[in-house]
Each structure stands twice: as structure tokens, then as C-alpha cells.
Amino acid sequence: MAGLPVCAAVGFGFGGIVPSADRAIPWVKDRFLSQYAIAPETVYASSSAKGYDARLATDGVDNKAWAPAGSPSQAPGQYWQATFESPFRLTALLMINGAATKPAAFFESGRPTRVTVTITTADKKTVKRQMNLADQPGVQSLNVGIDQVTAVQIMIDTVHPGLKAAAPIALAEVQFFSRRQT
């Protein structure tokens, strides 16, 4: 009779663990299995400043960037979007904020300080995640873990205008990753 409460506690405990394990297994696979980059089929933006076309954010180099048209105060609400030929599991999104990774060019340019990432799946559902961007040069990442992704939009929420008053609000590089299936 004394064992009944222990059995009940263990049973309830496992009942609470199983749903968490269902979410934990893909998360562990996302972090530890081999990752590979997914190239978008198309990229476009709500607007682009001259010399800062949307495609430059996926050109593989960090010395060219996408920037919305207009002044830094007009950047919030502007967006950059990628669509994909085939749905895939998005494990991570990497961004290089600003115009470049070299500190002088980074601090001269304007850059987003917070973005809203909207992920669209094959069944047209959307998931939104806000990402605060560190005010420093280099790669910043957002771990995602969403299946059947067909589009990703990055909308600028807030900005830092940079040291050059007329410098556009730039996003140097955006990369998408998935994991090898097991």
C-alpha cells in the first residue's frame, strides 16, 4: 500500500516528461546534427536604397548589404523577405547586422536594433519571433526549429542611425540553415 503513492508520483512524473521529450528530441537534433545552408529561391524587400538591393543580403559576402530606401527614421516597418522553392526545417537564422563586419564601417552605418522575424510554413501558418540585435559587428543567430518553412520575412522594428547621419539602415547578410535528416 505504501508503494501506491510512489507509483502514482512516478506515473504522473513520466506523463509530464513525455510531451517535453517530444519537443526536446528535435531541438537536440537541430543543435548537434550537421547543418547546411539553404539558399532562397527569391528575395525582395518593401524598398531598397540605391546600391543596397535586397539580393545583396544573400550574396555570401559581408561588405555589401540591403538597406531600405529613405532616411533612418523611415526604416521601421520596412522589411526584407526570402521565399524557398521547397519547404524545409529551419533550424537557425544567421544575420550580419549593419553594412559590414569591420568595426569602422559597422559604426558609421545605420543598423536595426530589433527586428520581427515572420516565418511562413507550407500550410500558410505564421510564427513571429522578435530578435534584439547586439550593437556590434559580426554574426548574430536566432535558433528556430520550425518544419515546412516556405518564407521568412525580417521587418525592422527599431534602429540605431549610425555615426554618418545620412547612412542607410543596413543588413549585410542573412543565411538560413537546416539539419541533415537522420
**pTM of the full predicted structure?**
0.81
Express each pLDDT in 107-154 by its tens digit: 999 999 999 999 999 999 999 999 999 999 999 999 999 999 999 999
Residue 4 pLDDT > 60: no
pLDDT value for 16: 46
Q: Is the dihedral of CA 70, 55, 170, 39 positive or negative?
A: positive
**In angstroms, rounded to a whole number, what is the distance separating the alpha carbons of residues 173 and 161?**
18
> Using an 8 Å Cβ cutoff, are 49 and 156 in contact?
no
Residue 18 pLDDT > 90: no
- Joined together, the cell numbers standing for residue 122 give 507550407
> Using an 8 Å Cβ cutoff, are 45 and 80 in contact?
yes
- Higher-confidence residue: 96 or 180? 96
Give burial (CB, 10 Å; 0-12/13-18/19+) of 126: exposed
Residue 27 pLDDT > 90: no
- Joined together, the cell numbers standing for residue 120 give 511562413
**In angstroms, rounded to a whole number, what is the distance separating the alpha carbons of residues 32 and 27?**
9
